[in-house]
Structure 1
Amino acid sequence: MRISFSPQLRSDALTLEITSGDRLRINGELFNFDPLGEGDTIPAGATPCDWIIGPVDRIDGEVCLTVILPHGEAPEPWQAFPEPLTVIEPGPIDIPSNTIVEVSEQPAEGGKLMIVTTRRWRQDPEVVETFVPDPPPEPESAPQIETEENANVDA
């Protein structure tokens, strides 16, 4: 199956999975393209799925379709200009996805360790650790000496 993508600013998520043959699961809903014959086309809009845009064709034995690819306000290059995917094996499809940034902290002697993990599509996670020291204790207030300037403050 050859899947092309049409990037679109959207807040919803997309999951794709090939179950068997030419059956595609989109966000849990199964679409069976096995009956589509060589050279046949399902016209744009005839597939009952808002995620599939354009026609669905069978060319050289392969089902070819275009799916909306949701992305955030600042898409990564692989989302803004995605390459088509050719999927042969059944299973979940690794689609171009948003960069995910996770921040965690761990206690450490004298402070805490801030850990920022950045996960980008098809790249190894990038982990940055930063030690943040505890703030120094507040100094005790020194007794205030009464002067002419502050003596009449309460009066």
Structure 2
Amino acid sequence: MIIKLTPQEMYPPQQLAVWKNGEQLNINGLTIDLANLVDGASLPANAIGSAWVAGPIQRVGGQVVLTLFFPNSPESTEAERFPRDLVDVPDGRVALPGKAVEEHFPTLGFAQIDWSLMQTPAQQAEALALTTIAQLRREADQAVAPLADAVALGMASEAEAKKLTDWQRFRVLLNRVPEQAGWPTDIDWPVPPA
């Protein structure tokens, strides 16, 4: 497990205590069980019922990687203001930079996790491909509109009419990208007209 810490000034001042037990992290008394996070997948921070999670949680090469907010104040040491990543965190109390936590936190149970928000590598690839299609489609739509107007009004030159056909062909090919055999990871992207 890799725990990254992002400093955050907190008023009133707060303490952070973290314990690790296998794939579970107990943060200030609330347990987060990450055993269901598949390799290569990502879980957004808002899927976790903990205000301490600062960014997406991922499993990379079999290892859970997450970022936690780390309380800071004007009196924080340099190690607290610029914390290093905690790599290969062993089970037990996690050694955080700075002074040890004085407060004992009661056991609060398990944090709610919305696993429906987890994105597997295939889902991430599909989301990226769909975003790329949408961006290229917007560019094509912007190119087609004035050319289509010129053709519809009989004001288009021969070059403009050909360019319209080229852009329309490009849009059709974009719409067919999800039908390719390699979708969503091995895509033969159509080339936009010059």
TM-score range, shorter chain: 0.5 to 0.7
Kindly name which structure, 1 or 2, has the bigger radius of gyration based on alpha carbons. Answer: 1
Q: Which runs of 4+ in 1 moved over 4 A?
A: none
Q: Which residue of 2 aligns with 1:85?
A: 86
Higher helix fraction: Structure 1 or Structure 2?
A: 2
3-state SS in 2 of match to 1:14: coil
TM-score by length of 2: 0.48
Write the distance in 2 (CA, Å) between the matches of 1:33 and 1:77.
31
Percent identity at matched positions? Answer: 30
Structure 2 spans left out of the alignment, 5+ residues: 101-194
Q: Which residue of 1 aligns with 2:50?
A: 49
Q: Deviations over 1:58-94 (max 9, x none)?
A: 0011100000110221321111111100244210001
Write the distance in 2 (CA, Å) between the matches of 1:69 and 1:98.
13
Write the distance in 2 (CA, Å) between the matches of 1:88 and 1:82.
15
3-state SS in 2 of match to 1:30: strand
Does 2:18 match 1:16? yes
Alignment of 1:1-155 (within 5 A): 1-10=1-10, 11-19=13-21, 21-98=22-99
Write the distance in 1 (CA, Å) between the matches of 2:45 and 2:26.
18
TM-score by length of 1: 0.60
Write the distance in 1 (CA, Å) between the matches of 2:86 and 2:30.
20
Paired residue type of 2:60: I
Q: Alpha carbons of 1:91 and 1:98: their partners in 2 closer, same or farther (altered >3 Å)?
A: closer
How many residues are aligned here? Answer: 99
3-state SS in 1 of match to 2:56: strand
Write the distance in 2 (CA, Å) between the matches of 1:51 and 1:79.
16
* TM-align CA RMSD: 1.8
Q: Which residue of 2 aligns with 1:111?
A: none
